[in-house]
Every structure is written in structure tokens, then in C-alpha cells.
Structure 1
């Protein structure tokens, strides 16, 4: 009689496009088979997969049924979703729940992908968030798409009603909030059992072009707030945030606006395993041997993580165009006089050095 066939351990990748290649590669290097899900049978990650599911990443019912048919050959050990699409993240959540695996939370997905949901969440839990603009007295204002898009796409600084009318699309729901003078920073952390463990802070280098469009210029590590009282206050906010999701286990990024006086407020939560070259370029440049996507696979599969402390050294990435294009990767951070942010066509540039001068004296 033939022996019983052993199942292979597999990780399911929600998506097999360019953005998912890094997590697919990391899963395979960790010894897992990969089951890739994408509606495009010719998606670049499909040839790397051990099993391909040609289906929309938004169709969780179809996927769960399809995975049941694969269970005779595969033991599902993790679900990874490098995407900002709410429905795709909900597909990942449904799969992680079905197989009892680490994953996100329904409300966490909602506040990561919908600005109005995040505002409501912060209001209920008394977490600082930029005020909603309600009248002409509130100009200048920031206009953001209600639903998260890639990078800073669709975000504008408007100085008056005319500018507001010019930059808003009647077909797109937007969030309009008061502009806060300050700097943008991001924290990468692990959320697990309602607690948060910080890996690092980084600076988001942001400018405003002459048309009012917010432009991502690059990233810098370590952040200018690292080691300051502002970092302590900011992380207290993150810990309060994470305590609301005791069942979630995931690598997350939180973006904050820090006022020039050092007061932090939430502006975005990212549950999409990072974009803008954070995991692809910046973190590996700042720490030799650090593999963000390998860590993401470990978290998704519930594997033991030996350390949460890495020796990140100064590094910076400058974009040559909207991410993922970049021209310069420097072994230095924004504090260095070697760094020059191009200001051609910008009405506002990054103010991180000014912030540092104000808050370190």
C-alpha cells in the first residue's frame, strides 16, 4: 500500500504583482511553498509560485473554497498581503481566521484604508488627530482622498476656497483637515497581543509643489525625533492605538505629523507591509542583513523572532519620481549637510532640520 503523502507547508500571497515579489521571494527562501492569488494569470509573481489561484484578490469566498481543495497537498501556515486595497486585506483576514493564523483585525483594516474611519476611531479613543476643517477660517487645509491611494497621490495643500475647488474631484470623496505646521515621521512596529514593539522611526521627506500638490521626496533614518521626549510621547499614542486590537498580529507602520513644538498626532496607519521603498531599499541600506520581508513572513506564520533590536545606521533614499523610482541612496541621514533636497518647483520643503534645532535646545 502506498504511503501517505506528506503535506508541504505553504504561505498564501494575496496578489502576485510587482509589489508582492519581495514577500513571495522571502517565503520561498524560508522554505515555504507559495500559493499566489491574482486575477492576472500572467502576473510576474505567478511563475515563482508553487500553486496559482487565478482570481480577484477581493473575492474571499472563492479563495477560501479554492484553498480547501488544496489542503490535501498543502498545509497553510501563513497569509501575506502587501496591498493597501481594503477588500484584499479583508480577504487575507478571512483566510487567516479560517486557518487560525496571525493577521489583522476588521476595524484595523478599516482605519488603515479609510480616513473618516480613522478620524472617528481617534475621536472615540481621544487620540490626537488633525482637526477637520469646517469654515473659511480654517485655511490653509489639507485635502486627502478618503480611501488610501499609493504614496502621497491625491493629497493637496489649499490656501483658499479657489484652490480647494481646483484640486478636488467631484467623483472622489475627500477628507479636508486643517493644515498643521510640522514634520512627518513614521514608526515601524510589531503589533501583537495588544502590545507594540518599535523597530525604528524614520523621517518622511515631504514637499509641496507650486500647484499645492504634496510630494514625497524621500526617506531618512534615524528620525530627528529619535531619542527625544517627542518620540516617547508618540510611542505612547501608538501603544494606546494597538491596545484596541488584542487579536491582531502584524508588522505595521504609523505615520505621524509632529508639530514644530514637538506634539505628535496620528495621520495614517499602514497595514500593507510598506511602500515607498521603506522595506525594499531604506531599511536594508540602514542595517546590513536586515530583511523586512523575511520578518513579515515570520510574523505571518507565527515563527519565533530572535530579536526586535537592529543596529540601524544613518541612511536616506531620494525619489527621482513617484515611488518606486529613486536616484540616490546615501549612507547618511537628513541631519547631514551632505544632503541637499532639490527645491526646484517646491513652495515648501522638509523642515526636519529646523525642527531638530528647535527641539534639541
Structure 2
């Protein structure tokens, strides 16, 4: 029986833990929180007392004689995962690859060197340097983003004409959210957002799905929903796929899942960033198998165990859409018409808050209040039904 170490055991990791056990894999869940919900689902649970402590985790991996390690839908311990792969000579990305795939500045350098399509990007020294760069080197609107983080944390649009004080406030917010205390300023690409879900095997990227995204407006651009398959023209989808493949090759990815985020402006695709992991927001764990019939979770598990993945459909294909609840900020006083979620087209739904909770302003993906996943014969029908349910279920705040 192969042994798989799963780094983190939160809600996002549960589908991987469950799937691995279904596949007959012995699962070792590792999380600093002994009460993390995935811990009870694993064959063995370990509380390391420092999930990002490379030496400690390498020691555990050796003692457990694991055959593979995975850190799904998260980037916090990517470097640790890469170090374990290096030390134990396992399938999966190296620490060098993990660093490139979690540092947006190094990622941009790799894209530029390879010729992968991406926006102009400059690493700033401090807030005064960033302001000077914005004023002198950008003729268009720009984006401030932490060089290391995910989930839209710290990202903000800065428009030409913004005051210096307002710019610096947004810069400091981005800096505060950056794990390596640095901030990029980038060309703002005006256009719709997408992700491309990929499995990389033996250095060759295989596209499984193109995901359309719905986000909030400036300044935070928090994702409010996704749908598969894409409703955009084939020629746009082909450019997105080509950009994702070029980006994976630019980063030198060899054995992993990849979640590639892109935007389209004037008919051309631009890489925003690539996570050398499965995407969050249920994209890799649920949407991709529902729309493509391909089990991305099983494929990813096999890849990190050194087993060639099955990239053929194994189930029926659907139109699928996820939408997130984002009620007005304030104290939650009532939830009305929640029974609307008891619909045959609802694949999964959850309200994250209860009456009495305080609903925050939506500044990152952590601030959303619930979700509904809808499947239908066509993606347009799934979108229409999901949008309607988001309106029908009312979370009343005061």
C-alpha cells in the first residue's frame, strides 16, 4: 500500500484525503490543528508543531517512509513539500520549482525569459519607490499585489489620478499581506478572468478545463464564482490553453497539478500567475470532474505517487457553476428562503455563517459567506440557476 502525506487537513484538503483512501492509498494527514476536519478522515494524523518547519517535516516523511506528498489547494507549505520531494527523491515539484511558483516576481521573470504572455511587472523597494514607478513608468492603471500570497489577499487596483495618500494606503495593505514583505506593481489588464486546470506529467502539461471567473469590481477583485466549461469562443479558449501550457513550461514544472490564472484583453491572453497545485474554490476538486468527466483529484494523487494518471473521462459531463454569497456587511439577523437550495440541480451548498455572526466587507476570498454549486445539461442553464439561487436566499444584515 502506497503512503501519501497530505500537508494540511482543512476543508479544502478533505476531498483529497477521501479520494486517496478510496484509491487504497494510506493517508497521513499533517496539520498543526489537531481538530482540523480532515485529521479524523485519514489513516494517521500527525500534529507537527510547525507545518512550515522543513527539517521537522522531512524527518516525519522519512520516518513514515512515504511514497508521495501533496499540499492541495494551498500555498503555505509549498516549499516544505518541494524539500520533502528533493530529500526523498519523490515524484512532484522540487523546492526550486515551488519557490518559483509561489513568488510572483520570480514567476514573472520566468515567464518573460521563456516568452510566455504576461503583463509588465516591477518589484518595488518601498512605498515611495512604488509611487515613483507608478507615476513615471505606467501610462495605464496598475495592480498592487503581494509577491507571495493567494486568495486575492492584498491585491488592489490603482487608477491613474489616484492621490498619493490613497496609493500608499493600498500599498501598505498589499505589503501587510505579503509573506516575504515585498510588493509588485503590474500593468492592469482590462478584461475577463479565467483559470486553466492542468495536470503536468513528465514535464508535459495536459489541459483538463478552462474556467470562467466572476469577480468583484476594483479595488479587491475577489472571486464570486466560476463556471465550466467556458462559454467563450473556441479561439479565445485556445489562446488561454496555449498561455497556460507556456507558463507551466516556463516554470519548469514536471509532476504536479497546475492552476493557471489568466485574463484576456483585446483578444489576447495574459498570464496572471500559476499555482503548481490544484486550484481552490472547488475548481479542481469538484467543478473539473463535473464538467470534463476527468477525475483531477485522482490524477493529482497518482502524479505525486509517481503513477501515470488517467486523463480520460470516467463520468458524465455537465454544465457546472459555483456562486458565492456576499451579503451586505453587518450583523446577520436572519437567513430567509434557505430551502431554495433543496433543488435537484444543486450539487453542493453551504452557508458559512449563523444568525448573530458579523458579516465582513468582502476584501478577500476568506470574507465570502457561503456557496452553491449547480449542475445542469448546459453551462448557461447552470449559471442562470446559480445566479437565481444567490438572489433567492437572503442573508439579512443590520
Which TM-score applies when normalising by structure 1?
0.79
- Paired position in structure 1 for 2:306: 302
Show CA shifts across 1:85-107 (max 9, x none). Answer: 35x11221222233332211334
TM-superposed CA distance for 1:291, in Å, is 3.6
CA distance, structure 2, for counterparts of residue 21 and residue 337 of structure 1: 26
Q: Secondary structure at the match of 1:186?
A: strand
Q: Secondary structure at the match of 1:161?
A: coil
Q: Which among 37, 44, 53 is matched to residue 44 of structure 1? A: 37
Q: How many residues align?
A: 325
Tell whether the 8 Å contact from 1:15 to 1:36 is kept in structure 2 after alignment: yes
Check 1:96–1:226 CA distance in 2 against 1; reply closer, same or farther (3 A cut).
Answer: farther
TM-superposed CA distance for 1:81, in Å, is 0.9
Stretch deviating more after TM superposition (330-339 or 13-22): 330-339
Which TM-score applies when normalising by structure 2?
0.72
Check 1:155–1:335 CA distance in 2 against 1; reply closer, same or farther (3 A cut).
Answer: farther
Tell whether the 8 Å contact from 2:155 to 2:221 is kept in structure 1 after alignment: yes
Q: Which among 167, 170, 188 is matched to residue 170 of structure 2? A: 167
- Paired position in structure 2 for 1:276: 281
CA distance, structure 1, for counterparts of residue 167 and residue 385 of structure 2: 33
- Paired position in structure 2 for 1:106: 95
Matched, 1:10 2:17: no
TM-superposed CA distance for 1:301, in Å, is 1.4
CA distance, structure 2, for counterparts of residue 10 and residue 336 of structure 1: 38
Check 1:129–1:196 CA distance in 2 against 1; reply closer, same or farther (3 A cut).
Answer: same
- Paired position in structure 1 for 2:52: 58
Q: Secondary structure at the match of 2:121?
A: coil
Root mean square deviation, CA, Å: 2.9
Check 1:69–1:180 CA distance in 2 against 1; reply closer, same or farther (3 A cut).
Answer: closer
CA distance, structure 2, for counterparts of residue 60 and residue 284 of structure 1: 33
Show CA shifts across 1:196-250 (max 9, x none). Answer: 11111111112305xx22121210112234521x333333333333334667201
CA distance, structure 2, for counterparts of residue 213 and residue 117 of structure 1: 23
- Paired position in structure 2 for 1:143: 144
Q: Secondary structure at the match of 1:69?
A: helix
- Paired position in structure 2 for 1:234: 240
TM-superposed CA distance for 1:334, in Å, is 5.2
CA distance, structure 2, for counterparts of residue 226 and residue 304 of structure 1: 32
CA distance, structure 1, for counterparts of residue 16 and residue 289 of structure 2: 15
CA distance, structure 1, for counterparts of residue 168 and residue 253 of structure 2: 42
Check 1:262–1:108 CA distance in 2 against 1; reply closer, same or farther (3 A cut).
Answer: farther
TM-superposed CA distance for 1:43, in Å, is 2.2
Greater share of residues in helix? 2
**Relative contact order (alpha carbons < 8 A, sep ≥ 6): 1 or 2 greater?**
1
Q: Which among 204, 215, 224 is matched to residue 217 of structure 1? A: 224
Check 1:338–1:58 CA distance in 2 against 1; reply closer, same or farther (3 A cut).
Answer: closer
CA distance, structure 2, for counterparts of residue 197 and residue 68 of structure 1: 31
Q: Secondary structure at the match of 1:232?
A: helix
Check 1:34–1:324 CA distance in 2 against 1; reply closer, same or farther (3 A cut).
Answer: farther
Check 1:157–1:334 CA distance in 2 against 1; reply closer, same or farther (3 A cut).
Answer: farther
Q: Secondary structure at the match of 2:84?
A: helix
Check 1:213–1:64 CA distance in 2 against 1; reply closer, same or farther (3 A cut).
Answer: closer
Matched, 1:85 2:75: yes
Q: Which runs of 5+ in 2 are unaligned?
A: 123-132, 177-181, 327-364, 389-398
Check 1:192–1:336 CA distance in 2 against 1; reply closer, same or farther (3 A cut).
Answer: closer
Check 1:336–1:118 CA distance in 2 against 1; reply closer, same or farther (3 A cut).
Answer: same
Q: Which runs of 5+ in 1 are unaligned?
A: 1-7, 343-361
Stretch deviating more after TM superposition (23-32 or 231-240): 231-240
